[in-house]
Amino acid sequence: MNLKQYQSILNLLLFSCISLLVHECFFYVIGWNQVEPLFVYSLPRLYSFFFLLSAVILFILIKVNQVSSTHVGLTFILLTTFKMGIAYIFLKPILKVNLSHSGLEKINFLFIFLLFLAIETLITIRLINNKQE
């Protein structure tokens, strides 16, 4: 097994840990760390959830790339759509809560979702471009 092909998943793990630390520090500096315990999902839980989904997607994309590099883009779109459905199910309890911090929690969820989506997209672009060279 070639570990170099799975380097992107290790990079995702490193990025997730650093992003979580920066996010926690930002909450502390702004003073939102007192509101965070009232959230439906804590920051580490959200980052873990999105890391696992992204890691599974990247693992599948790496495998698809090994078999047929022409199907990586379509597979990415399909898996991202599936991820959005799972994220919506995960988001439903946040949407049902109507407290003063609900808006912050929704924005927080969306930010983390978009952050991981951007990273997945960049790694997928790299996978597609590496095969074309």
pLDDT in tens, 8-39: 899 999 999 999 999 999 989 988 888 888 88
pLDDT band at residue 99 under the 50/70/90 scheme: confident
Which residues are CB-contacts of 81 (< 8 A; sequence separation ≥ 6)? Answer: none
Confidence (pLDDT) at 79: 96
pLDDT in tens, 53-95: 999 999 999 999 989 888 999 999 999 999 999 999 999 998 8
